[in-house]
Amino acid sequence: MSDHLIAVLPGDGTGKEVAIEAQRILDTIQQHTNHGFEQTVIQCGGQHYLDTGEEWAEGSFDFCRDEADAIFMGAIGQPGARLPNGDLAGGSVILGMRSGLDLYANVRPIRLYEGVPHKVHGRFTNIWDPDLVDMVILRENTEGLYHSLLHRSAQRAKGLEGYEPPSIEFPGLQGEIAYDPRPISSHGSERLIQMGFDIAETRNGAPIDNVNRVSCIDKSNVTRGCQLFRRSYDKIADKYPHIVRDYGYIDAFTQWLTRTPEHYDVVVTSNMFGDIATDLASVLQGGMGMAASGNIGDNHAFFEPVHGSAPKHAGLNKVNPIASINSIQMMLDWLARRSNDDDLLHVSKLIDQSVAEHLKDGKSLTYDLGGTATCSGVGIAVADRLAAHLKEL
Ligand code: IPM
Ligand code: MG
């Protein structure tokens, strides 16, 4: 028996559609188990800003921080929606929470389910055995190249003054100069890397050899921030002698990732590298429609599909809800582990099982997986499977 208060932030574009399917999963669990989910929907995002002049209603950040047990977000991003200072409208929501709630790890599992075709060559193929893609990428989420924007967005979310990085001289440059400092701290790196090793301990290792491995992906041949990140990695790795060390530069990593994904178990990297590498890695799992994520800190977490608002598909009921359903699975796993709730942990595994069965069956897939099913059609089908499993409990 557990009751949880969930903040649901549908956001922009297709975020609204996938949020409905995320909520459907929570409703299904509430209906068939003792686990209750009170859901508070908060409208937000770029379109909300254009309509109301606010990125979200005043008090929303405080609600997410002080009241909600966990947060689900659909997507943020409306073309043309910018704040007067040029920042992304809706940034207070996604970036403000990442920084303001100190959600230092962006955890992005990359797993190819059986039956899911992917499009590495532009055509649907099953060239990989699904057992060859099963890794988790951890992206640092509070510093690096995003730091100024993150901090500015968090200040705004808290109703405080904006932040501008200190001015720096750049010898030899001419004309207008724009720059984003890329601060990397030992504290920020170590806690992220620590979480990576902790996750590695719960897994079965890399698909190729079942070896527990944490790969440090950086550009330490070039940047000082990455040299610090790598030193932080070595320091944490010393505490885990039973986990195999592995190093790669981000440029080389992109080709190994697509060529030999089976080598990877857990990957830790900095903010912008992780942003880019996880979009690339999503292709290995069938595309962005399959990519779930959790923004996780020590006291708070929000969960979101990686795909963004996909404005061109908005309102058409066509995008894949599985990234959102799997984000809810991650949320319940997180809530269950925090409260030592084995029953809720089991329920979260049943979500994964229902998704896996649905995909293996392959009859109801959205366009991105080569099918013609609707977003709600897939959401209802997965929820029905889940309900059937829950009834057996
Ligand atoms: C992501 C997105 C965000 C990011 C955008 C929407 C600000 O691309 O979650 O990966 O850059 O982090
Ligand atoms: Mg991204």
pLDDT digits (tens, 9 = 90+) for 271-317: 999 999 999 999 999 999 999 999 999 999 999 999 999 999 999 99
What pLDDT, on the 0 to 100 scale, is given for residue 136?
98
What pLDDT, on the 0 to 100 scale, is given for residue 144?
98
Q: Tell me the CA distances in angstroms from 180 to 49, 144, 167, one per residue in order.
A: 25, 9, 10
pLDDT digits (tens, 9 = 90+) for 352-378: 999 999 999 999 999 999 999 999 999
The strand pairing partners of 303, in sequence order, are 72, 294
Helix and strand totals (H; E) in the chain:
12, 10
Q: Tell me the CA distances in angstroms from 229 to 185, 206, 219, 262, 304, one per residue in order.
A: 8, 23, 9, 24, 26
DSSP 35: E
pTM: 0.97
Does 209 fall in a domain?
A: no
pLDDT digits (tens, 9 = 90+) for 238-249: 999 999 999 999
Does 197 fall in a domain?
A: no
Asked if residue 133 has pLDDT above 70, the reply is yes
Asked if residue 220 has pLDDT above 80, the reply is yes
The strand pairing partners of 217, in sequence order, are 248, 269
What pLDDT, on the 0 to 100 scale, is given for residue 20?
98
What is the domain range of residue 105? 2-160+270-391
Question: Which residue, among 371, 336, 364, has the nearest Cα to 350 in the 3D structure?
Answer: 336
Rounded CA-CA distance 106/275 in Å is 9
Does 102 fall in a domain?
A: yes
Does 186 fall in a domain?
A: no
CATH number of the domain encompassing residue 42: 3.40.718.10
In the numeric block, the tokens 């724009």 are attached to: 178
Cβ of 76 closer than 6 Å to ligand 1, yes or no, is: yes
Burial tier of 128 (Cβ tally within 10 Å: 0-12, 13-18, 19+): middle
Residues whose Cβ atom is located within 5 A of ion ligand 2: 275
Distance 346 CA to ligand 2 centre (A): 30
Which residue type occupies 240? Y
pLDDT digits (tens, 9 = 90+) for 250-275: 999 999 999 999 999 999 999 999 99
Does 227 fall in a domain?
A: no
Asked if residue 1 has pLDDT above 80, the reply is no
Asked if residue 265 lies in contact with residue 206, where contact means CB atoms within 8 angstroms, the answer is yes
Alpha helix ranges (H) inside the chain: 15-32, 46-52, 60-66, 91-100, 147-157, 186-202, 224-237, 250-259, 271-282, 322-338, 342-361, 375-391
* Portion of the chain with pLDDT greater than 70, in percent: 99
Cβ of 368 closer than 6 Å to ligand 1, yes or no, is: no
Does 247 fall in a domain?
A: no
Q: Which ligand is nearest to the CA of 77?
A: 1
DSSP 45: S
- CB atoms < 10 A from the CB of 86, how many? 6
Instruction: Please tell me the residue having the least CA distance from ligand 1 atom 4.
Output: 275
Q: Residue 162 — pLDDT band, cuts 50, 70, 90?
A: confident
Q: Tell me the average pLDDT across 59-73.
A: 98
Does 185 fall in a domain?
A: no
pLDDT digits (tens, 9 = 90+) for 74-131: 999 999 999 999 999 999 999 999 999 999 999 999 999 999 988 887 888 877 788 8
Cβ of 87 closer than 6 Å to ligand 1, yes or no, is: no
Q: To which H or E segment does residue 220 belong?
A: none
Asked if residue 323 lies in contact with residue 288, where contact means CB atoms within 8 angstroms, the answer is yes
Question: Which residue, among 299, 275, 271, has the nearest Cα to 71 in the 3D structure?
Answer: 299
Q: Tell me the average pLDDT across 45-51.
A: 98
Distance 377 CA to ligand 2 centre (A): 27
Angle between helices 322-338 and 342-361 (to 10 degrees): 160
Burial letters 345-378, b for 16+ CB under 10 A, else e: eebbebbbebbbbbbeeeebbbbbbebebbbbbb
- Specify the 3-state DSSP secondary structure of 183: coil
Q: What's the domain count of the chain?
A: 1
Does 366 fall in a domain?
A: yes
